Amino acid sequence: MAIIEPIEGRYVYLTIQDVEYRVYYEESGKGIPIICQHSAGSLGLEWRHMLTDPEIISKYHVIVADLPYHGRSLPPESIEWWKEEYKLTKSFFMNFQLELSKALGLERPVYMGTATGGFLALNLALEYPSKFRAVIGVESALRAGPATLDIYYHPYIGNDYKRANSMYFSAPSNPEKYRRAITWVSMLTAPPATKGDMNYYFIEHDLTGKAHLIDTASCAVYLLTGEYDPTSSVEDTKMLAQQIKGAKFTEMKGMSHAGMAENPELFKTYLMPILKEIAKKQ
């Protein structure tokens, strides 16, 4: 008997900032909806283990989309996108989550994002607390460190760079099979999308002086950061958590920047207490 996973993949048409996008998404499970957002220059495959975990999908409805220009969500057909460099903006990124949630009829979903998506968790909690019952920011920070955008999309630097670099955004003690899969997944998104996503990550995201305005009574905030993450370090996330009254921070020992993909079993041990707490509040 062949193994068939419970994941269902579909396309949904979303209009964001007056442009229509054909967006690929996968979902599985029933219960509290959780939108899972991938990191910069990546795609929904990062969350594949969440979509098949029997314990998770027995109580939660997991939704994972490829952001436009990523994976199977191609650039839109109604604009001449090739005449300008792709850049992910904060407003587009937030509107995407809102439109996805609305189109799928989700009722105050949990939003969980990693890295670039983890940064967005805080923007959503700040600006749209009524739309999400909780946010989980994986590898979040007030802002990113120094920007290094050009190496992600340069005619002399090929995909080997992403392949090599992504290996070390997972902790050295994690299973090689997962670490190597991350290197492959990192190559699946077009290089311009990686650089363009960094516009939000390095330039637009900055919660300095704003994080304390997040109201966790309206939208609960959970933060998870890997011990090894060099980009958003444990100290960076602690600093963020200290500024949000009621935010809950957990350090993920033995993990780095690619949590749910670098060691899904270990990641789950950190995630489940959060999901159970969210479920208990319903």
Partner 1 sequence: MAVHFIDPKNASYFVEVLNNDPEFKIAARYMTKDACIEVGNIKCIVKFRDGVVTEIKSENAFADPWDFAIRGSEEAWEKFLQPIPPRFYDGIFGGMIRGNFVVEGDTISAFSHFWAITRMLDIFRELQNK
Amino acid (1-letter code) at residue 84:
E
Contact between 84 and 69 under an 8 Å Cβ cutoff? The reply is no
Please choose, out of 27-35, 96-104, 114-122, 152-160, the segment that lies near partner 1 by the rule CB under 8 A.
152-160
Total of residues contacting partner 1 (CB under 8 A): 24
**Least distance in angstroms from the C-beta of 239 to partner 1:** 16
Contacts for 174 with CB less than 8 Å, ≥ 6 apart: 254, 255, 256, 262, 263, 266
Comparing CB distances to partner 1, the nearer of 73 and 256 is 256
CA-nearest of 28, 273, 243, 223 to 115 is: 223
Q: Does 153 interact with partner 1 (rule: CB under 8 A)?
A: no
Comparing CB distances to partner 1, the nearer of 163 and 248 is 163
Q: Does 172 interact with partner 1 (rule: CB under 8 A)?
A: yes
DSSP SS3 for 7 = coil
Q: Does 154 interact with partner 1 (rule: CB under 8 A)?
A: yes
Comparing CB distances to partner 1, the nearer of 146 and 209 is 146
DSSP SS3 for 29 = coil
Contact between 228 and 143 under an 8 Å Cβ cutoff? The reply is no
Q: Does 177 interact with partner 1 (rule: CB under 8 A)?
A: no
DSSP SS3 for 162 = helix
Q: Does 251 interact with partner 1 (rule: CB under 8 A)?
A: no
Contact between 187 and 161 under an 8 Å Cβ cutoff? The reply is no
**Least distance in angstroms from the C-beta of 168 to partner 1:** 3
Of 87, 90, 163, 210, the residue at the interface with partner 1 (CB under 8 A) is 163
Rg of the chain, C-alpha, whole Å = 17
Q: Does 201 interact with partner 1 (rule: CB under 8 A)?
A: no
- Contacting residues toward partner 1, per CB under 8 A: 145-146, 151, 154, 156-158, 160-161, 163-165, 167-169, 171-173, 227-228, 230-231, 233, 256
